[in-house]
Structure 1
Amino acid sequence: MKTKLWFLLGTLALLLTGCQSKNNSGSAQQLNLMQTSDLLSLDTSQHADLPTWNTLENSMEGLYRADKHNQPQAAMATKVVQPTNQGKTYTFSLRKNAKWSNGEPVVAQDFVTAWRRSVSSKAQSGYNYIFSGIQNADAISKGQKAPRKLGVKALDKHTLQVQLEHPMPYFNKMMVMPAFFPQNRTALKKFKSHYGTQSKYLYYNGPFKVTKWTGDNDSWVLMRNKYYYDKKQIHLNKIKYLVVKDANTAHELFSQNKLDDATITGVTAKELQGSKNLIHEKKAGNYYLRVNVRNNQPLANAKMRQAINLAIDRQALTKNILADGSLPASTYTAKDLSIDPTTKKDFAQETTPQQTYNVKQARTLWDEGRQEANLPKKLTLKVLGDDQTITKNVAEFLQDELQHNLPGVKVQIRNVPDKTASSETRSGQFNLSQTLWLADFADPISFMGILNSDNPQNYGKYHDDQFDQLYQKAILDSSNNQQAYWQTLRQMQARLNESMPVIPLYQMVESHLVNPKLQGVLRHPVGEDDYTRAYLK
């Protein structure tokens, strides 16, 4: 009996130690991550890019968060709700134990306040369009109605109700996006214009809170939020972010155990394709050239845009320059985003144009378009991009391709810090700008929306009546006629293939060097990766 008792006690101790090593690992564990560009803001109403959203994905929560199958699951809401009123009313019950990092409860009015700020015509994020479909959102974004007229209200402290103008079958999927996160009203009143400009000028309702970001430094730290409602699921004590713009530097930091997850590209990625620590993360996003199609710009002519599209050898770009598993992109909409349920085919695959690379045809179109636009034989084009190494390498490849394949063309490259590139893009100081669109939710309409002429992120100022009409038709068809909806989406992509306001380059497939001890990461093809439940085993 005594021997058996000691054996049982010893076994119990081992089991408790095993559980403790994971559940208490948060007291010691630190995860080191990187971003490839600078963090410019934490205010979702004023800014939206990958560093901002990646950081907030791990420090804030909306009504839902995406699960391992990329489906919405309850977060601030107690459950995933089904709409009433023929698909036009969503009523969310909020969990009563959710708190901000300052100890205040998360309440329905925090969502109302945030959404009103973000949909306002004064919002600078470029994402007020994402609220389209919510009652009065379009009119508010245009400055025609006050933000308080938005179809969202707090029925009581923990009940949020949203009224739509028409059914939106993908509305629940959208609720995982940082654009719909709540904002603490005390922080907004206290910090005013400073809100979100530094980590200390914000309160957080997620598992972590952001610290040590002063607004212009290249590193910041996420510390555990002691008020988070689900602390038992959080094993990390700290997440440290570092801005690393060069793939070789990322590799070196990974080799020195200073990064647990490093993104690599180009020559570095090519040399490490056999590494046991390498994973490929396919994303439903495309890198492309945004074209400035304003009337006084040389590329306002569609034939000249078509010529640029046909002059780029994307196979050579992805194989020789990127070398990280990225795939050539022939359509604005990314592959692997969605299957057209009416044809059972990948949407991007079925809408791919017949010709994607034809230098002879490109030269013919270039000359025809140049003459139609009454432009000189020699023409200089400015390609704008950020200052990441891979962006520079892609720009140099494009420079060589266009100068070699199009008669009389000279390409001027301008790679500048992300803040400057963003400012110059918004003000139209470019002919072509390198950019990425990563789908917000798994539907082609997520891509199409930003090329609508009214969209604030339509920085190239593409305005096409046919495309706009198709977009509005798709929105109305989305809830009641699946056959018509997908037919309209195909027509929209066909119109973009013809008018070329954006020139697709390659699909986002990230090469990551990952610490083999890192577990629990939710890697989402749509949206941002979730490290909140991660741990080092």
Structure 2
Amino acid sequence: MKKLLATLMIGASAVLLAACGNKTSSSKRRSVSLMQTAELLSLDTSNHADFTTWNTLENSMEGLYRANKNNEPAPASATSVVKPTNHGLTYTFHLRQNAKWSNGDPLTAQDFVTAWRRSVSPTAKSGYNYIFSGIKNADAITASKKSPKTLGAYALNKHTLQVKLEHPMPYFNKMMVLPAFFPENSTALKKFGSKYGTASKYMYYNGPFKVTGWNGTNDNWTLKRNKYYYDKKAIHLDELKYSVVKDANTAHELFDQKKLDDATITGVTAKGLQKNQDLIHERKAGTYYLRLNLRSGQPLANQKMRQAVSLVLNRQQLTKDVLADGSEPAYTYTSRDLAKDPTTGKDFAEETTPSDPYDVAKAKKLWAQGVKEAGQKGTVKMNVVGDDQTITKNVAQFVQASIKKSLPDAQVTVKSLPAKGQQSAEQTGSFDMEQVFWLADFADPISFMSILQSSNPQDYGKYKDNYFDKQYQEASSSHAAEVKQYWQNMRNLQDRLNTTMPVVPLYQMVESHLVNPNLKGVLRHPVGEDDYTRAYLSH
């Protein structure tokens, strides 16, 4: 998801403690609480995208598909997984005729068309309009060259949505599980206007639950059953209760106090609990990294200086001593376990890993050369910007100490900001290094590569490389359906990033969760958001 790149967070769920119940007995406990590590800023997918938003909407909204237990697209609002026609250029979705919104309105094809037009518009603020690229006229619309009404998404009738592409996209069905492609209720958009999605009452929901109790600023909200949901028998819980918990030690304490049943833990807290019987490790196809500011005149606009920063970071030490939660070193921007290169049979990230990811002696030489090339005089002052979670601060301090120890005349200041503050710094370019997390939207390297193309609205570091853009363009158009050429493009893209270093990979997420063993039925996806909609509590 984009899951807003400014935030280093991943949602965790927790069950409100009381007596244990089972999924069939109405007399037993049927309330579950979900922990998030950052504030909820919006529910409007056209104008906002981050983990808390998407984790909340994953359980209260529904797109054409949901990801099943095998992490494959499965029918949701659509009656089946569609096979494209017209040489891979046309997808025709038939919607469930009994699907309804939480206000009782029927779900229609026009709700998807309306939402997608809002989201692809150049005025959309989510930074996610690029995800529609490949759909007819999407790029032209985002570039303000055509009207959103020309988007290749059509309501053929009340329950039939047709999508036309500009070129084949073999991964298109995988993309349809993303919250970015969720529908939006046309009545709500007209009724609430600019307030749409700014509080829970200013939206309608078409999923198993509806959001209640969020006024736009508070740190607690509740998802309650949508009485109009078409598959009520599959839903075993009455409530999903969310609260924001930023500190791992606090999460652990709440778990011990039986106030959380699924607590995400990190750092020292996690290190001491690795043998706990309630601990599980959840592997995610996501990478934590530093986004570097490449704007002219900035300290890290020089490529050799960027390479030096990467080379002084001992990622083994970071994951073992600082994180200590099962997370693994990341040596490529693209995460391991995301996809296997079908032309080589190898894990894509592993086959593109650089041979010398940690080399202090080489870093010192590159730094000296880069400083001279850039005309830097005296101390090179830099900042590293991140959110205000404890784990984020710890990682920032590791980066700060590593650079100070190994790179002469380098000084790093740590800036820990609330979510809105980091978002502002990101969008205005007020950072030298920004702590960022990217969780793949779908199981293909292009999900990572897309946000670094120079035309992408999320290219906040202002990376512009003609070779990278050309390789991406080929992969997303003429080579999209040519397996050998497509994967060569993917390898070229990652190799280019290894050299130009606009982003510095730090570690791959492996979440440590303390989980009540009575919580069952959660679909924990390595790609995308975890799904609690069919969860239940057993004896």
When normalised by structure 1's length, the TM-score is 0.95
Distance 1:204 1:260 in 2: 26
**1:319–1:25 distance in 2 versus 1, CA, 3 Å:** farther
User: Does 2:104 match 1:103?
Assistant: yes
Tell me the distance in 1 between the aligned counterparts of 2:442 and 2:25: 35
User: Are 2:35 and 2:244, in contact at CA under 8 Å, matched by a contact in 1?
Assistant: yes
Q: Confirm or deny that 1:334 pairs with 2:335.
A: yes
Partner of 1:12: none
Q: What is the CA deviation profile of residues 385-404 of structure 1, one whole-angstrom value per residue up to 9, with x for unaligned ones? A: 00000000101111110111
Gaps of at least 5 residues in structure 1 are: 1-19
> Partner of 2:414 in structure 1?
413
| Residue of structure 1 in register with 2:470 after alignment | 469
In 1, distance between residues paired with 2:25 and 2:37?
A: 31
Distance 1:323 1:402 in 2: 21
Asked if structure 1 preserves the Cα contact closer than 8 Å seen for 2:208 and 2:226, the reply is yes
- Mapped to 1, the partners of 2:68 and 2:479 lie a distance apart of 24
CA distance in 2, matches of 1:157, 1:80: 19
Structure 2 unaligned residues grouped into runs of 5+: 1-20
**Equivalent residues in 2 for 1:223-262 (5 A)?**
223-262=224-263
Equivalence for 2:282: 281
Offset of residue 26 of structure 1: 8.7
Indicate conservation of the 8 Å contact 1:306/1:500, yes or no.
Answer: yes
Residues 26, 234 of structure 1: 8 Å contact kept: no
| Aligned counterpart, 2:31 | 30
Mapping for residues 493-512 of structure 1, pairs under 5 Å: 493-512=494-513
1:144 deviates by 1.1
1:203 lines up with 2:204 in the alignment: yes
Q: Name 2:72's counterpart in structure 1.
A: 71
Deviations for 1:270-295, whole angstroms, at most 9, x for unmatched residues? 00000000000000000000001011
Q: Distance in 2 between matches of 1:287 and 1:385?
A: 11
Alpha-carbon offset, residue 479 of structure 1: 3.6
Higher alpha-carbon Rg? 1
Overall identity of the aligned pairs, in %:
66
Hey, what does 2:423 align to over in structure 1?
A: 422
Q: Give the CA RMSD over aligned residues.
A: 1.0
Map 1:26-175; keep pairs closer than 5 Å.
Answer: 28-175=29-176
1:257 CA drift (Å): 1.3
Cross-structure match for 2:271: 270
Equivalent AA in structure 2 for residue 451 of structure 1: L
**Structure 1 residue 298: deviation in Å?**
1.3
Q: Distance in 2 between matches of 1:504 and 1:36?
A: 21
* Contact 2:265–2:514 under 8 Å retained in 1: yes
The residue that corresponds to 2:383 in the other structure is 382
Structure with the larger helix share: 1
CA distance in 2, matches of 1:388, 1:186: 38
Contact 1:339 1:346 in 2 (8 A): yes
Q: How many residues align?
A: 518
How many Å separate the matches in 2 of 1:431 and 1:106? 45
- What letter corresponds to residue 298 of structure 1 in structure 2? P
1:442 maps to 443
Corresponding residue SS for 1:153 = strand
The Cα shift of 1:354 comes to: 0.7
Determine helix, strand or coil for the equivalent of 2:224.
strand
Shift of 1:476: 2.2
**Cα drift, residue 27 of structure 1:** 7.5
User: For the residues of structure 1 that align with 2:370 and 2:506, how far apart are their CA atoms?
Assistant: 22
Listed as ranges, the matches of 1:331-410 within 5 Å are 331-410=332-411
Q: Displacement of 1:22 after TM fit?
A: 2.1
SS in 2 for 1:384: strand
Shift of 1:24: 4.2
* CA spacing shift, 1:25–1:306, aligned 2, 3 Å: farther
- CA offsets 1:114-163 (integer angstroms, 9 cap, x no match): 00000000000000000000000001111111100100010000000000
Deviation string 1:428-478 (CA, Å, 9 cap, x unpaired) is 000000000000000000000000000001100100001000000111244
8 Å contact from structure 2 (residues 167, 478) kept in 1:
no
Shift of 1:35: 0.6
- Residues 212 and 223 of structure 2 are in contact (CA less than 8 Å); yes or no, is this contact kept in structure 1? yes
What's the TM-score, normalizing by structure 2?
0.95
* Structure 2 CA distance for aligned equivalents of residues 442 and 393 of structure 1: 30
2:295–2:461 contact (8 Å) kept in structure 1: yes
Distance apart, 1:172 and its partner CA: 0.3
CA contact 2:29–2:537 (8 Å) conserved in 1: no
Aligned mates of 2:30, 2:123 — CA distance in 1: 41
The alpha carbon displacement at 1:490 in A equals 0.3
Q: Counterpart of 2:214?
A: 213
The corresponding residue for 1:521 is 522
CA distance in 1, matches of 2:384, 2:528: 27
Distance 2:177 2:433 in 1: 32
Q: Secondary structure at the match of 1:115?
A: helix
Q: d(CA) in 2 for partners of 1:139 and 1:303?
A: 36
Deviations 1:292-334 (A, max 9, x none): 1011211110000000000101011000010000000000000
Q: How does 1:455-466 map to 2 (within 5 A)?
A: 455-466=456-467
